[in-house]
Structure formats: C-alpha cells, structure tokens
C-alpha cells in the first residue's frame, strides 16, 4: 500500500515511460515533491518494454522526431554521465549498423531523398544512396526492384534497452520515488482536475498531477477520467534466426518495401514486422500465428538476401505496440479540459528510443508548466481533438 495518502505526482504504469518520467522528475531542479508509481505487474512480463527490439534511428521525416532521437543517441552514449557518474552504472553500447530504407518506386525514392535532407539539416549523418552505391557497400542484397535507399552509420542501430529501463527504475527509487504493486481502478475528477486515484487494494490517494503511462491500456485509463484517445494494442512479431551462410559484414536494419525488417543481432539475425491483418487485440492476447514466418516473412527476407534461403529459427515472440490509430505518433502533455492529467502514450513502436527525451520533456512540463529542452507541443492531444495529424512519413 502507498506510504502516504497524498502525492505531488502519481504515475500509472512503471515500465519504460513511467520510470523515465519518474527518474527525470526526481532529478529536475525545482521539483521536490513526492512521486508514486503504480504498477499492476512488477514482473513486466507482458509490457511492451519487455518485448522491444531496442532500436534507435535518426531517419524520421519530422524535425521534432529527429531531434528527439538525436537526444536519445546522446543519452545512450553518455548514459553513466546522465546517471550521475555512478561507477555501478554500466556503459550502454549503441551498435550503429544503421537503418537501410529501400525504395522500389520513384515516389518512395523521392520521399527518402527529401527526408535525408531534413535529417542532414539537423546534423544526422544519413546518406541517400543509389542502387549501385547500395550494391557496392552491401553486395549480398538482391536489388533488381530497388531504385534508391537511405542509410546512416552514426548513432543509429540498436542498444540494450532493458538495461536503460532497469537503471531508470533503480535510480528513481534511489532518489526517493515510491513504487507499489497495485492497479488503478478509478480516477476521481473534480471539474478540470484529477483530485485522487482509487486502487484495486481499496486505497484512495490524492494527487497534484496524474501521469498516464499505461502503455496499451492508455485509452482505458483515459476513459476513467472521461477522456478519449485513439490508442489500442496491436501485435508485432519478432523472429531470431541463424543462417547457414552468414553474411561477411554486419547487416543494417533493412526495411524492405514490403514492411518486413531484418538486421544483425550478434551472431544471429533478427526479423520482424506486423501481420498482414493488423486489428486491435486484447491486452492479454499474445497468441502467435506461426504460419506467418513461412507465408510472409521468410520469403521476403530470402528474396532480398539470397544467402538467407537456408536458415534455422532460434526464437520468436509476440509483443504489442501501443498503436495511435490517428497518426501513429506520441501523445504527450496535458489534456486541455483536465490540466493535471498528463499523457505519455501512443508511441506506435517508437517508444523505447524516445523515452529519454519524452521522459525529460514531461518532467520539465510538470515542474515548470512549459516545454524547455525540446518543444513537444506538436504531440499535444489537442491535435487529435482538432483533427490535425502529426505528419511523419517514416513510420515502420
């Protein structure tokens, strides 16, 4: 049960976002309040955080998303420094194999070229490559249908997201954040504010600010306050495989025009993507359609990289995206009708890489009443209420 009956900030959800916000708040100059994190499953067995592929990319088309990832890469590189220089904090390696977007139409190739120009203007090292340039750098690709591609070998690839999450949580606790194993069952609203929360245990706890960090359950949580957001669980598949004929160099995270992606993963390879039929699912539905590998994923991979015609599956799992059906981008900040209800939801697969910047941003917004390090106002729920999409052309 909570140690107190009132907290300055109550965070529902203790996975990557709840813990990022809690940690940033606990070290934010000007904030000295009490923080409570409510987590319904402290094993995090089914949290999206636990099923992530831990990737980060600069290759977005929107300047806000690019800036967020630029900071994310800096945070990974300087992880111990951000954590106060504690020698117990491990260094986080960033395997910068990069993302390789492959375009099979002139329109898509032009989109990649325009996105590369935006990325370069913000300091990203993305290259727009012709088919011949791609073939010279990575001769194992089958490129008969490919016109061009984008690639970046600097601060783009994958990292140990599990360790980042673990230390967000550890350091938040060390800084005085209280975590409890309980479940939110109600939000008690008085006019334009959330006055208190009701827990499954029966406790009613007052709050100054409420943060919705409940992942795929975000819409349910918002509805407790009479609010609506277009976020739902969607299944995403991951396979790990060994190759009879391994490649002679690292494989970038290759995004085939079909939507299937594949990359190096140590001595093995990782592939993934959505099913062709991609409906909302129940929060506890992690049942796998094993036929998808033979019917969809492996044929695409073997066509693009013929050396992968002989492979052996090592592992697979199903995770969930907290999918924003409106524009597949984050929803962050207060609701205009309930000013102490804070969203940090709807990441649609971008969540882990954006957690450092968005956790910092929301902590600043809660403390100071304004965005400081980065202007995150484009992610406001107000855009959804107004029907104005956040335009991002590089959604995987």
pLDDT digits (tens, 9 = 90+) for 196-247: 999 999 999 999 999 999 999 999 999 999 999 999 999 999 999 999 999 9
* Maximal CA-CA distance, the chain: 65
pLDDT digits (tens, 9 = 90+) for 151-162: 999 999 999 999
The kind and range of the H/E element at 367 are: helix 351-368
Q: CA-based angle 222:275:306, to the nearest 5?
A: 140
**DSSP class of 91:** P
**Closest Cα partner for 349 from 218, 150, 169, 215?**
215
Instruction: Give the DSSP H or E segment for 18.
Output: helix 16-27
Distance CA 232, CA 11 (A): 20
* SS3 category, 111: helix
Query: So what's the pLDDT on residue 50?
Result: 82
Spans in the chain with pLDDT lower than 50 = none
CA-nearest of 10, 333, 359, 31 to 167 is: 359
In the prediction, which pLDDT does 49 show? 84
Q: DSSP E strands: which ranges in 290-335?
A: 311-324, 331-335
What distance lies between CA 49 and its chain's CA centroid? 8
pLDDT tens-digit series, residues 102-150: 999 999 999 999 999 999 999 999 999 999 999 999 999 999 999 999 9
DSSP type of residue 58: S
């Amino acid at each position: 049960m909570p140690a107190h009956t009132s907290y300055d900030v109550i965070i529902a959800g203790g996975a990557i976002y709840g813990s990022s916000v809690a940690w940033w708040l606990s070290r934010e100059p000007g904030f000295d309040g009490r923080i409570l994190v409510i987590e319904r499953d402290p094993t995090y067995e089914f949290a999206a955080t636990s099923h992530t592929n831990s990737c980060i990319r600069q290759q977005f088309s929107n300047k806000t998303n690019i800036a967020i990832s630029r900071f994310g890469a800096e945070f990974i590189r300087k992880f111990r420094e951000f954590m106060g220089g504690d020698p117990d904090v491990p260094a986080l390696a960033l395997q910068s194999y990069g993302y390789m977007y492959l375009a099979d139409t002139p329109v898509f190739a032009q989109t990649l070229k325009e996105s590369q120009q935006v990325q370069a203007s913000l300091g990203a090292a993305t290259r727009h490559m012709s088919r011949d340039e791609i073939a010279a750098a990575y001769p194992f690709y089958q490129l008969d249908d490919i016109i061009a591609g984008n690639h970046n070998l600097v601060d783009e690839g994958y990292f140990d997201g599990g360790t980042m999450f673990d230390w967000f949580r550890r350091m938040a606790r060390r800084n005085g954040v209280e975590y409890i194993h309980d479940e939110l069952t109600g939000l008690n609203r008085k006019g334009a504010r959330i006055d208190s929360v009701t827990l499954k245990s029966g406790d009613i706890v007052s709050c100054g600010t409420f943060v919705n960090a409940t992942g795929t359950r975000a819409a349910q949580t918002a509805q407790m306050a009479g609010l609506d957001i277009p976020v739902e669980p969607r299944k995403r598949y991951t396979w790990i495989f060994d190759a009879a004929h391994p490649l002679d160099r690292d494989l970038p995270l290759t995004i085939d025009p079909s939507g299937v992606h594949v990359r190096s993963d140590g001595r093995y390879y990782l592939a993934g993507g959505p099913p062709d039929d991609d409906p909302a699912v129940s929060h506890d539905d992690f049942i796998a359609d094993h036929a998808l590998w033979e019917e969809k994923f492996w044929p695409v991979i073997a066509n693009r990289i013929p050396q992968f015609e002989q492979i052996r599956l090592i592992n697979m799992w199903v995770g969930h995206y907290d999918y924003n059906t409106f524009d597949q981008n984050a929803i962050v900040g207060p609701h205009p009708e309930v000013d102490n209800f804070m969203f940090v939801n709807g990441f649609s697969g971008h969540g882990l890489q954006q957690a450092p910047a968005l956790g910092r941003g929301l902590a600043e917004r809660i403390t100071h009443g304004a965005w400081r390090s980065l202007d995150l106002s484009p992610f406001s729920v107000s855009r959804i209420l107004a029907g104005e999409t956040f335009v991002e052309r590089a959604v995987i």
